[in-house]
Chain A
């Protein structure tokens, strides 16, 4: 019985010590190096008397940052990734929330880290602490004492109030996720991952832990390559990357800019995507470019430990159709609850709620917001059972597949009609040539205001939209823009849209 995520590392270092585990393409670490360095970090934490505490890891995305994560867990603590890409104000809010006794930095970030108010915390260099003598006795004692409901990380997600929420997840949730995901996407020892997501989101769990489980290899693709599609495809081929789990916008950048005219990703066998609706036209380009690959749509909130629903794309989709999110991973149940807390029937909309081991521990140092989203299962009054309410609305289609409909919290009443702004956005985004769309509601003037990023002009857009939406749902003000404001988590930033609107 596996109770600790480090069991994956302890096992694989005996089987494949010299295999490359994590690399950025230029430099990398073998499993032996990851193991040794993480044990040094764990021993250092023990030396400092740091145990069962959050430890901030503020490093550039690198193989060493990954080893630092495992080192924090080896010391019986939980890692809190922070990145220089985050706005300074957000970093300070995170530091204030977790009050970490230690901030692990590299040479590039240590100067930046020291500009923040660290409280009792101390900034140290990874290179120093990953070279100390490991204390095997101490580390095995920490390992034995760990229980699988202890947290291993906190990652921060944006809150509608502007204060980020720190989602804490435990060994058991992560082990369960890694096991289920690995089966669904058929990872194995030959898997070569091309990681796209930043390491400060739970999205990177998909690569980091299955790499340990199977002795696979993960390439941390330099972020800059996601601006240069031809070079990106070359990178995939050079490193024989066969498995990618990317956000849709990263995938469409490659296909929409015509990279496949220059070269194709030759080794791809698994393409997983999520976070956004995949425009069917772009999806087809990917299919043609990687005909042997299995394509899987993934869905899941951070609070449910990574992804919790999947849909393997096996049939054809018409332009404008939405690829379903399918069904729940094994060992978690997706409940679709109506506003009165009863289950939604076939074709009815309900809030997507998650039940099971994958439900995370809650928001760190934030009991109020935890209580609002992590609630007693209303269908069970017999014993305590926490479910997570995603705030996402879904419904089952005629084939019994779960389909994402919209967010719950941007519902408006307009001209006597109940309207989901998300629904307007999804419909605009599905129009040919449209990449992104965001809406707000001006309740005073009773106007739906739309910003979009796409090829058609306002007139063409309105014309096309009329074929998709009832008249009362058509936006009253439409602005075509170069790009929409995003929150750090890649969601459309409605607060910023509202500010833009108020400024005129």
Chain B
């Protein structure tokens, strides 16, 4: 989780990713952020996020994103 938070903080140092639950709905993460998040995650974790998992509900909070990464790790 800490690793993921770091990636997110590098992107937006001004956002409290531990509490923010509307990263998408509030427009904090934009299209470019999503693209770079996905490439960062595939570099730092041993998972590939494919299009079917690129959904708002998986990106709205650090926790949701973390759960996605965990699930993909388990599946892998």
Give residues in A with beta carbon < 8 Å to B: 224, 226-231, 249-250, 253, 256-262, 435, 453, 455, 482-483
In the assembled complex, 28 residue pairs joining A and B whose CB atoms fall closer than 8 Å, in A order, are A224-B24, A224-B56, A227-B33, A227-B54, A227-B56, A228-B34, A228-B54, A228-B55, A228-B56, A229-B51, A229-B54, A230-B52, A249-B31, A249-B32, A256-B35, A257-B35, A257-B38, A257-B51, A258-B50, A258-B51, A259-B54, A261-B52, A262-B52, A455-B39, A482-B11, A482-B36, A483-B33, A483-B36
The reply to whether A253 and B55 form a contact with Cβ atoms under 8 Å apart is no
Main secondary structure on B side of the interface with A:
helix
Q: How far is the CA of A231 from the CA of B59 in the complex (A)?
A: 14
CA distance A256 to B51 in the complex (A): 9
Q: Say which size band chain B's interface belongs to.
A: 20 to 34
**Shortest beta-carbon distance, A497 to chain B, in Å?**
16
A102 to B17, CA, bound (A): 40
Decide if B36 touches A261 in the complex (CB within 8 Å): no
Q: Besides the contacts A228-B56, A262-B51, what 5 more A-B pairs have beta carbons closer than 8 Å?
A: A253-B31, A258-B50, A259-B51, A482-B36, A482-B40
- Inter-subunit contact A230/B51 (CB<8 Å): yes
Which of B31, B51, B56, B59 sits near A226, CB closer than 8 Å?
Answer: B31
Question: What is the CA–CA distance of A230 and B34 in the complex, to the nearest angstrom?
Answer: 13
A500 and B36 CA atoms in complex are apart in Å by 19
Name which residue of chain B comes closest to A230, CB basis.
B51
Interface residues of B (CB under 8 A from A): 10-11, 24, 27, 29-36, 38-40, 50-52, 54-56, 59
CB-CB < 8 A to A262: which residues of B? 51-52
B10:A482 contact, CB within 8 angstroms: yes
B11 — which chain A residues lie within 8 A by C-beta?
A: 482
- CB of A61 to closest CB in B, whole Å: 13
Q: Which residues of A contact B51 (CB under 8 A)?
A: 229-230, 257-262
**Are B36's CB and A453's CB within 8 A?**
yes
Query: What residues of B have a CB within 8 angstroms of the CB of A258 in the complex?
Result: 50-51
CB-CB under 8 A from B50, the residues of chain A are: 258, 261
Residues of B within 8 A of A455 (CB): 39
With contacts A224-B24, A227-B24, A455-B39 taken as known, whether A483 is within 8 angstroms of B32 at the C-beta atoms is yes
Task: List the B side residues contacting A250 at CB < 8 Å.
Answer: 31
Q: If A453-B36, A483-B36 touch, does A227 touch B29 (CB 8 Å cutoff)?
A: yes
A253 to B33, CA, bound (A): 11
Known: A482-B10, A482-B36, A482-B40. A230 touches B55 (CB 8 A): yes
B40 cross-chain contacts in A, Cβ below 8 A: 482
Residues of B within 8 A of A224 (CB): 24, 27, 56
B30: chain A residues within 8 A (beta carbon): 227
Closest beta carbon of chain B to A409's beta carbon, Å: 25
- Give chain B nearest CB distance to A436 CB in angstroms: 9
Cβ of A257: which chain B residues have Cβ within 8 Å of it? 35, 38, 51, 54
Please give me the residue from chain A that is nearest to B25 by CB atom.
Answer: A224
In whole Å, how far is B17's beta carbon from the nearest beta carbon of chain A?
15
Q: How far is the CA of A357 from the CA of B29 in the complex (A)?
A: 41
- CB < 8 Å: which of B24, B33, B38, B54 contacts A230? B54
**Alpha-carbon distance between A226 and B56 when the two chains are bound, in angstroms:** 11
Given A230-B51, A258-B50, decide whether A253 and B35 contact each other with a Cβ distance below 8 A: yes
Which one of B10, B34, B39 contacts A227 once the chains associate, using CB atoms below 8 Å? Answer: B34
